[in-house]
Amino acid sequence: MNPSLLFIASGKGGVGKTWLSTGLALLWSRQKLRTLLVDGDLGAANIDVQMGFRARWTLADVLAKRCTLQQAVSAGVDSHLHVIAGKSGMNAVDLMSAERLMFVREALHRLSCQYAYSLLDLGAGLGTGVRSWMKICHKGVIVITPDPSSLTDGYAAIKTIRSLCPHMQSVGVVVNMAESDHEGQQTYSLFAKSCQKLLNFSPTLLGVVLWDDRIRSCMRKQTHVFDMFPTGHSADQLRHVSRGIEVL
Ligand SMILES: Nc1ncnc2c1ncn2[C@@H]1O[C@H](COP(=O)(O)OP(=O)(O)OP(=O)(O)O)[C@@H](O)[C@H]1O
Ligand SMILES: [Mg+2]
């Protein structure tokens, strides 16, 4: 497998990006694939809290020159998983000089070559930070839900990716929080049709994840449904999405 740096984005907030990122990172690390998970959401970072560890340094410290990128790498909850935490409450990227941002982006790109997978969990919206990280990634995944506002925000995200990342031949879509597989497929069809019509580009469906109360309760307990219910539908769908990412 070639080393791969990919982002998970959405446009709309609260659609399940962090759930998907942490789940994929756990899945790959359990498959003994060296994985780097980066919290690229510097406005409302929460991966370290979600995974139940405390990071000494964060990506915001790297951007502010308080430490090197390598120093910000924490051993995650798994032997094959490394994590770079973010920092809540500040949009560090917006405060950085363009040179510093470019330096950190290049360092992250180089660091990612040491891993089979590097995953950037991006924040909501399409601000400077999100757009900046997108540019260095080889692959991109957009999370949408059947909510109409998620579709319009998802469309805006695809449009941004098409202009910023012309090297990306395909972009994956995960429909999350669907009431049924049918609703998820319909949501994807609607989304793909408007992308095709307006952008002449159709993203690839990676999977449909149903609404699952257990995801919420696991997140509240700082665990992951993938660990607590490894044979359930949501964990199955994570595996399905992972296979789709491999061939994206
Ligand atoms: N399929 C699902 N069914 C039910 N709840 C879900 C599902 N996926 C995610 N959630 C819950 O939705 C909430 C938001 O998820 P998450 O934090 O992953 O979203 P996000 O896109 O990363 O949000 P933000 O934009 O704020 O970073 C969490 O409480 C999570 O447990
Ligand atoms: Mg998040």
The answer on pLDDT for 107 being more than 90 is yes
Which residue owns the Cα nearest ligand 1 atom 15?
16
Is 44 within 8 Å of 87 (Cβ atoms)?
A: no
pLDDT of amino acid 163: 95
Structure tokens at 3: 């080393």
**Mean pLDDT computed over 120-135:** 91
DSSP summary character for residue 203:
P
- Taking the centre of ligand 1 as the mean of its atom positions, its distance from the CA of residue 14, in whole angstroms, is 5
DSSP summary character for residue 172:
E
pLDDT of amino acid 2: 57
pLDDT of amino acid 1: 47
- Could you tell me which residues come within 8 angstroms of residue 128 by beta carbon, excluding any fewer than 6 positions away? 93, 94
* 148 phi/psi in degrees, rounded to 5: -55, -35
**Mean pLDDT computed over 243-248:** 94
Note the pTM of the prediction, 2 decimals.
0.95
Ligand nearest to the CA of residue 177, numbered in listed order: 1
pLDDT of amino acid 134: 94
- Taking the centre of ligand 1 as the mean of its atom positions, its distance from the CA of residue 16, in whole angstroms, is 3
- Could you tell me which residues come within 8 angstroms of residue 28 by beta carbon, excluding any fewer than 6 positions away? 35, 80, 81, 116, 117, 242
**H or E stretch covering 210:** strand 204-210
Tell me which residues have their CB closer than 6 angstroms to ligand 1.
Answer: 10, 13-19, 41, 44, 123-124, 176-177, 209, 211-212, 215-216, 219
Mean of pLDDT over the chain: 92
* pLDDT tens digits along 38-93: 999 877 778 888 888 888 999 989 988 999 999 999 987 788 999 999 877 666 66
The answer on pLDDT for 94 being more than 70 is no
Which residue owns the Cα nearest ligand 1 atom 9?
16
pLDDT of amino acid 7: 97
**H or E stretch covering 81:** strand 81-84
- Taking the centre of ligand 1 as the mean of its atom positions, its distance from the CA of residue 190, in whole angstroms, is 22
Query: What whole-number distance in Å separates Cα of residue 194 and Cα of residue 189?
Result: 9
- Could you tell me which residues come within 8 angstroms of residue 180 by beta carbon, excluding any fewer than 6 positions away? 210
Which residue owns the Cα nearest ligand 1 atom 27?
123
Amino acid at 2: N
CB environment 56-95: b (16+ within 10 A), e (fewer): ebbbbbbbeeeeebeebbbebbbebbbbbbbbbebbbbee
Query: Which domains occur in the chain, in start order?
Result: 4-246 (3.40.50.300)
Q: Bridge partners of 20?
A: none
Residue of 17, 19, 121 best suited for mutating to test ligand 1, as the one with most atoms within 8 Å of CB: 19
The answer on pLDDT for 204 being more than 60 is yes
Which residue owns the Cα nearest ligand 1 atom 8?
16
